[in-house]
Each structure stands twice: as C-alpha cells, then as structure tokens.
Chains A and B, each alone.
Chain A
Amino acid sequence: MKHLLQQISRSGKFVAGFSIFATILLIVLIYPLVVPDPPLEIIGQGTFFEPGIYVNVYDSISAPHYTLNLDEAAEQRIASRFKAEDREAMRGWLVGSGMPESEIDIANTAQLLDQWFANFDPTTRLPGMTNADRNYYIRLNNSIQGLLSTEAAVIAQMNAETAVLEETGTVPQTAYVNVNQVANVRVLPLGTDNFGRDVLTQLVRATGVSLQIGFVAGIIATVIGLALGLVSGYVGGLVDDVIMFITNLFIVIPSFVLLILISFSIGQEQRGAITIAVVIGFTSWVWTARAVRSQVISLRNRDHVNLSKLSGHSIAHIIIRDILPYIASYVIMALILQISSGILAEAGLSILGLGPKTTDVPTLGLMMNWAMIYQAHILGKWWAYFPIIVTIALIAFSMNLMNTGLDQVFNPALRD
C-alpha cells in the first residue's frame, strides 16, 4: 500500500490533476466561510453588472477627502466621459465642414478637441443637415464645454421647510477618497448575472452542488456496475446471459435519451439536485458493469481463486478477498470518470431545461442555462458564462489527468 501511494505520488499527471481538483474543492469549502451570503440573493437592480469594485457614492461624499494633483486626471476624465457616438458625430461635422478625413483621429482626444474648437460654429448649416441635427451639435458642444470646466461640483441639501437647495460643500476635481475609508464597498470579481446576483458566490456554491451530484451519480453508477459485473462475471451461466443482455441493451440505447425521458416524467416539482444525481447514476452504470465483468472472467480461473474454492470459501468471500483487490484500481479509475461525466450530464440536462429545481442553491448547469436564456454570450457578458465553462472543463480535466496518471501507474506498458 505504502509503495503504491509512493508510486502514485510520483506520477506527474496524477499529482497535477489532484492539485487542480484539491484546489477547487478547497475553494468550495472555504469560500462560504468567508462570504456567507446566500448565493441566490438578488443584490443588483438590473442585469449583468460588470466585474469590478463597487464604491458607494453617498458614503464617499462623507468620507475624508484628499487632494492629489495628478497630471493626467483631467485628460482621463474627459476621455472616459466622451462616448464613441459623440466622437463619431464630431468627425461627421468636421468632415462636413471641409476637413480632410485623413487628418481626423477620433481616438486622439486632445487633437480631436482642438480641431473641434477651431472649426465648430453653431451658426453654420451643413448641406443636408436637419434642424434636429443642428440642435444635437449645439447640445454636444455645450456638454463638451461642460466637461472641460475646472470648477468644483457643489453638494447641496434640500431644506425641508423652504425646499431651497442649500450648499453643504464642494467637491473639487482634485478630490480623492481612500477606498478603505468608505463605509460601503462591494467587490464583485465576476460581476452580477441576469437577475443581479453575485456570480462568484453563485459559481462557488454551484460548483459544490455539481460536485455533490457528480459524486452521488458516480458512486451509484459504480456500485451498480461493480455488483452486476462481479455477479455476472463470476457466477456465469444464465445469470451472466441475463445481465449481459440488459447491459448490451443499455449500451446502445443512448443514456442521454433515458435521462431526458425520466427527468421530464419526474416533473419539475420533484426534481431536486440529489434526485437528478440518482437518475444520472442509474442510467450510467453500463460501462463499469461490462468492464468489471471482463476483468472478473480473466481472474476467475487463476490459481489463487481455484485454491480458495477448494478450501471451501463462500462465493462472497472469494469475490471480496480474491477478486475485488485485483480490480480495485480499475474500479477507482471508473469512479473518477463517472463523477466527471455525471457533472457533464447534469449540465447538459439543465441546458435543456430539465435541471434540478432550485430555491436556494444553483448548479453549474443551471447557471449556464440562465446565461444562455438571457443571451449573455451574444451580449458580450463574458463573466456570466465563461467562468462556468472553465470550471466544468477544469473539473473534467483534473479528473481525467488523475485517471491517466493512475492508469500509467497500474499498467506499466502505457508509461512513456
């Protein structure tokens, strides 16, 4: 045993896969202790807030202000408030007023502004320009002038009796707050989803639930497959024929179809995460059964098994003591693969709308389903779907690496 563990720990692939998997598991276990919020709590009013640090505006007014004189501040402020449409519109005006298009670079804010102020004249009418267009350009010009002003913003409060605004303070353009001193700051590393829920919190919990589904499904599938394979392989005869008939049937009938049929028949109300896991487990045992059977058949007539038989041991004793240890390595590898395919099966089902019913916990498949329904991928909201795909791929990848690593330890012929 000790020697075996040593060998396994020396297999680079297994160690890499195991570390990825352990990291995911640790995050799933530790994160809820740090951020105990319920994962499905709706915090954002609106859909798909971008990832970032959200600072409370109201609190930052009352937080201590510091003056920092930074050179690029004004330029960056103008650049960020200057929308792409505005730049396009300015180019349109400049070209219309006779400026060669090659001289205009709308990405260069300073140059564009210079050209604008040198050429813009609210009284000129360009050919083909409607009155609405003219008013638009005048408004645009005013707002650009406003952007360039260097005056401080005034903070005012409404007097409850007279309804007159009274100035309580000013915020100069050089005022800064320290984020640490603002009372309310919320970090949303992966933004919010279509319902305004924190994606990271949801993702971590969903990974946990999906792993549970994978484990339950994998263990059920492996136990059924192992039991049927052992009985069929060792007992043989009619029992073997019947079991193999059933196994061969279920190998060709796609399990995904059975999953759809069963999940739909169960109905939305009864479909919990664990129910789904059990259904997945019951539809995916065939491969294990077949492989275990063929291994048992090759072991059945070995000398040590015959010796055990001659000594009068019971069938159960022979199976457990003389056969099981020889196929244990294979069974563990099959279990690993079953877990990862269980997680994938749940995700596929959820995208079809047949995933578990949720009231308090999401699964990876459900998150993917929501992101797809709300077109996150078309709208370019990468944080709503990409982390989910990466998580699923990482789990499957780590499981597969562990599996290949174990395979190389147990079958020396495969080693490079």
Chain B
Amino acid sequence: MKGYRKYFLNKLLWFLVTLVAAFILNFILPRLMPGDPVAAIVSRLAQGMSNTAGIQAIYEQYAEQFGTNRPMYEQFLLYMRNVFQGDFGFSFSQYPRTVADVIRSSILWTIGLQFPAIIVGWLIGNSLGALAAYRRGSFDKVIMPISIFMSNLPAFGMAVVLLVIFGVSLRWFPTSGGYGFDLIPNFSLKFFWSVFVHYQLPFWSIVLITIGGQAIGMRSMAIYELNADYVKYSRFMGIKDRKIVRYVFRNAMLPQITGLALSVGTMVGGALVAEIIFSYPGLGSTILTAVLGQDYPLISATTLIITIMVLAANFAIEMVYGILDPRIKAAQAD
C-alpha cells in the first residue's frame, strides 16, 4: 500500500506541475506574439471612428480593463486569481454573456460526447486487435486493412461521411445540433430522446476513428506477446489456450493504457473538429464561434479548459494504470 501511495503522490505532483505549466503557456503565448492584442481589438471596435482622442480613450479603457498596462508578473497573478474564481471576463462575440457562462453551457456536451466515445472506441479497438492477433488468418486479413484505412481517415472526414450516409441520404439521424431546434432543454422524455438521436452520429464517428488506431496498436502488441517465452512455456505446460490468451491480453493491454494516456490529447483535438461538422453544441463549436467572432477571452478560456480536461483524464488513466500494473507496486515498494 505504501508503494502505491508513493506512486500516487508522484503522479499527483506531476499533474500539478503540468497544470501550472499549462497556465503559464496559456497566459504567455498570446502575449509573446507580435502586435498588441488590445490595439487589435480597439482598431476593430473603433472602425469608422476618425477621432484620435476618442480611439485613445477607448484604448486606455481596454488596457485598464485587461490590465495590460501593468507589469507582467502582476498581470499573471491577477490572471491566476481570476481563473481560480471562475472569472474569465466577458465574451466579445456574445456580450453580455460571460465567458464562464458560455463554457458552462457547452462543456457538458463535450465531456458527455467525447469521453464515452473514446473509451468505447478503445475497448472495441483493443478487443478486435487482440482477436486479430490471436486468430490471424482471414479475420486478421479483413480487420487489419479496414483498421489501417479508418485510422488514416481524418476525424472530420469520418464525421462528414457518416453525416452524408446516415443523416442526409438515409435520414435516420438528424444532421446537426445537440437536440431538436424546436425544443427547450427540460427533463421530458421527448427531450432525452431528441438528445439521444442527435448523439448517435457524433458518437459513432469518434468511436470508429478510435477503433482503427487502437486495433493496430493492440494487434502488434499482442503478436509480440504471443511470441514471448512465457507463452511458449505455458503451452508446454499444457495450459488451456483460453487462459493463455487472458495472460497475453493483460500484458499487451498495459502499454495500450499508457498509449491512451499519451494520445488522449490528440484524440480530443480531432473530436473537437468532428463536433464542428455536426454543429454539436460543445467546446469545438465554441472555439469556432470564438474564432469567427475574434473573441479573444473565449478562445483563451476554452483552450485552458480543454487542457485541464485532458490533463485530468491523463491523471485518471495513470491512476488506473497504477492499479492494474503489478510492477509499479513492486518497484515503488523497494
């Protein structure tokens, strides 16, 4: 138990360090860029104004509001304090809504869509990969090329293909939105059904993309394990095939879990773009509206939230890994 606590604390420390680094990056990257962001905002707001003194007044007002006239470290402390209070300021493009409000209305959609989809995709992909490695033959020959091709399809490509086939041609599922545009969110059966129907296409497009990559990874892992000495030894011992497969699967799964932790960020990135294709009311669409509306506070807050989500997911996966991998307990206990 002591070894496990050490592992846990180690990972927690690392999580906090990356979190601070993410904060700093999110704060500093836009400020490193050439050009004065406040000047850019003011020049857009003051379009058509010829009065220099008026523009100057607007500029100073905004500089005061964003605090860009203060020293860098003070700005950073201010930023940290505000973020911890959940205060991201006002959204430019959806004024008078606050950024926190905009994000609150979209974050649940993204979490509800992406995390189940990635987990389901991971499970199906790994099972298929292990099966392909074990059965080989024609099953392998069919599954592998399909997986390779699917993993090469960009997430938005898969989204568009599914949308056109099942949404536009067959009309089985609606093509856009998170629920029917004629409904107001409430706790009625009708609303839940609408959400469920709208959920299907985005969900399966992310699942299918995830399956491809995971199946390929699991297959090569499992093939490698099947050639390991312990498998041969178990065969000589006359242990049942089924039991051997279980050993192999457990061993091959560990690197796949690490792989999931490391690639969850990339997957979320692709899934955000898929959300846009379906106009799903999540963070992906929020980024799009923020970019189109040149909404600086909203972009900054959304990227920070996504980073925190990915880091948290990562941390959670590391925890699961710690429980599953017996070597960690052994190594840390020494």
Residues of A within 8 A of B (CB): 248-249, 251-258, 260-262, 264-267, 270, 340, 344, 347-348, 351-354, 368, 372, 377-378, 380, 382, 385, 389, 392-393, 396-397, 400-401, 404, 413-414
Q: What would 23 A/B residue contacts be, using CB atoms closer than 8 Å? A: A248-B14, A249-B21, A253-B25, A253-B265, A253-B310, A254-B306, A255-B266, A255-B269, A256-B269, A257-B306, A257-B307, A261-B26, A351-B273, A351-B277, A352-B276, A352-B287, A352-B291, A368-B156, A372-B160, A380-B168, A393-B157, A397-B152, A404-B148
Question: Which residue of B37, B227, B265, B288 is within 8 Å of A256 (Cβ)?
Answer: B265
- The answer to whether A270 and B34 have CB atoms under 8 Å apart is yes
- Does B273 lie within 8 Å of A253, measured CB to CB? no
**For residue A401, which residue of chain B has the nearest CB?**
B148
Which residue on B lies nearest to A263, using beta carbons? B291
Q: Is the CB of B161 within 8 A of A389?
A: yes
Using CB atoms, name the residue of chain B closest to A399: B152
Shortest Cβ distance from B156 into A: residue: A351
Min CB–CB distance A252 → chain B (angstroms): 5
* Residues of chain B within 8 A of A267, CB atoms compared: 33, 35, 40
Q: Which of B25, B154, B224 touches A258 (beta carbons < 8 Å)?
A: B25
Q: Is B69 an interface residue (CB 8 A)?
A: no
Q: B153 is contacted by which of A254, A266, A352, A393 (Cβ under 8 Å)?
A: A393
Contact code string B296-316 (vs A, CB < 8 Å = 1, else 0): 100110010011001100100
Q: Judging by beta carbons under 8 Å apart, are A258 and B29 in contact? A: yes
Q: Which residues does chain B contribute within 8 Å of A385, judged by CB atoms?
A: 160
Question: Once A and B bind, how many residue pairs between them come within 8 Å at the CB atom?
Answer: 139
> How close is B201's CB to chain A, nearest CB, in angstroms?
12
Q: Which residues of B contact A (CB under 8 A)?
A: 14, 17-18, 21-22, 25-26, 29-30, 32-35, 37, 40, 148-149, 151-157, 160-161, 163-164, 168, 175-176, 220, 223-224, 227, 262, 265-266, 268-270, 272-273, 276-277, 284, 287-288, 291-292, 296, 299-300, 303, 306-307, 310-311, 314
Residues of B within 8 A of A251 (CB): 262
- Report the Cα distance A167→B174, complex, angstroms: 55
The 3 nearest A-B residue pairs measured at CB: A256-B269, A254-B265, A265-B33
| Selected contact of A348 from candidates B273, B292, B314, CB within 8 Å | B273
Partner among B164, B175, B276 whose Cβ is within 8 Å of the Cβ of A351: B276
CB distance from B29 to the nearest CB of A (A): 5
Cα(A354)–Cα(B289), bound, Å: 12
Enumerate chain B residues within 8 angstroms of A380, measured Cβ to Cβ.
164, 168
CB of B103 to closest CB in A, whole Å: 14
Contact A260:B310 (CB < 8 A) given known A351-B156, A352-B288, A368-B156: no
Query: How far apart are the CA atoms of A353 and B292 in the complex, in Å?
Result: 7
* Docked-complex contact A257 and B269, CB < 8 angstroms: yes
Most buried by B among A248, A256, A340: A256
A258 to B22, CA, bound (A): 10
Contact check, A348 vs B154: say whether CB atoms are below 8 A apart. yes
Q: How far is the CB of B127 from chain A (nearest CB, A)?
A: 21
Which residues from chain B contact A397 at a C-beta distance below 8 Å?
148-149, 152
Since A256-B270, A265-B37 are in contact, a sample of 16 more A-B pairs with Cβ atoms closer than 8 Å, ordered by chain A residue number, is A248-B14, A249-B17, A253-B21, A254-B268, A254-B306, A257-B269, A257-B310, A258-B29, A265-B33, A352-B291, A378-B168, A389-B153, A393-B149, A396-B153, A396-B154, A414-B223
User: Chain B nearest CB: distance from A82 CB in Å?
Assistant: 24
In the complex, chain A residues whose CB is within 8 Å of the CB of B291: 264, 352-354
Chain B residues within 8 Å of A255, by CB: 265-266, 269
Instruction: Determine whether the beta carbon of B154 is less than 8 Å from that of A389.
Output: yes
Question: Would B148 and A260 count as touching, CB distance under 8 A?
Answer: no
With A261-B30, A413-B224 known to touch, is A254 a contact of B266 (CB < 8 Å)? yes
Q: Is the CB of A396 within 8 A of B21?
A: no
Q: Is B311 touching A252 in the complex (CB atoms < 8 A)?
A: yes
User: In whole Å, how far is A325's beta carbon from the nearest beta carbon of chain B?
Assistant: 25
For the complex formed, measure the closest distance between the CB of A113 and the CB atoms of chain B, giving whole angstroms.
31
Residues of A close to B151: CB separation below 8 A: 400
User: Which residues of A sit under 8 angstroms from B273, Cβ to Cβ?
Assistant: 348, 351-352
How distant is the Cα of A409 from the Cα of B46 in the complex, in angstroms? 62
- Which residues of chain A are within 8 angstroms of B266 by Cβ–Cβ distance? 254-256
Contacts of B262 in A (CB 8 A): 251-252
Contact partner of B288 among A248, A353, A377, CB < 8 A?
Answer: A353
Q: Chain A residues near B224 (CB, 8 Å)?
A: 413
Q: How far is the CB of B215 from chain A (nearest CB, A)?
A: 14
- Min CB distance B305 to A, Å, is 10
Chain A proximity of B326: nearest CB distance (Å): 23
Contact yes or no, B307 A254, CB < 8 A: yes
Give the distance in Å from the alpha carbon of A26 to the alpha carbon of B242 in the complex: 51
Expressed in whole angstroms, the minimum distance between the Cβ of A55 and any Cβ of chain B is 30
The residue of chain B having its C-beta at the shortest distance from the C-beta of A345 within the complex is: B269
Q: Nearest Cβ distance between residue B119 and chain A, in whole angstroms?
A: 18
On chain B, the residues within 8 Å of A261 by CB distance are 25-26, 29-30, 299-300, 303
When C-beta atoms are compared, the residue in chain A nearest to B35 turns out to be A267
List of A residues within 8 angstroms of B40 by Cβ: 267
Q: Given the interface contacts A254-B268, A261-B300, A397-B148, does A413 sit within 8 Å of B161 by beta carbon?
A: no
What residues of A have a CB within 8 angstroms of the CB of B37 in the complex? 265
Give the shortest distance, in Å, between A368 (CB) and chain B (any CB).
Answer: 7
CB pair B160–A389 under 8 Å, yes or no, is yes
B164 near A262 with CB under 8 A, answer no
Contacts of A352 in B (CB 8 A): 272-273, 276, 284, 287-288, 291
- Complexed CA–CA distance, A251 and B14 (Å): 12
Question: Are B154 and A392 neighbours in the complex by a CB distance under 8 Å?
Answer: yes
Q: Find the A residue at minimum CB distance from B290.
A: A264
Give the docked Cα–Cα distance between A252 and B261 (Å).
8
Residues of A within 8 Å of B148, CB to CB, are 397, 400-401, 404
A256 and B154 CA atoms in complex are apart in Å by: 14
Name the residue on B nearest A266 (C-beta): B33
In the complex, the chain B residue whose C-beta lies closest to that of A340 is B152
Q: How many whole Å from A281's CB to the nearest CB in chain B?
A: 16
**By the criterion CB–CB under 8 Å, are B33 and A253 in contact?**
no
How many whole Å from B45's CB to the nearest CB in chain A? 16
CA distance A380 to B165 in the complex (A): 10
Chain B's nearest CB lies how many Å from the CB of A21?
Answer: 13
A96 and B168 CA atoms in complex are apart in Å by: 32
Q: How many angstroms from the CA of A186 to the CA of B33 in the assembled complex?
A: 46
Chain B residues positioned under 8 Å from A382 (CB to CB): 164
Residues of B within 8 A of A258 (CB): 25, 29
The answer for the CA separation of A414 and B226 in the assembled complex, in Å, is 12
A252–B161 Cα gap in the complex (Å)?
30
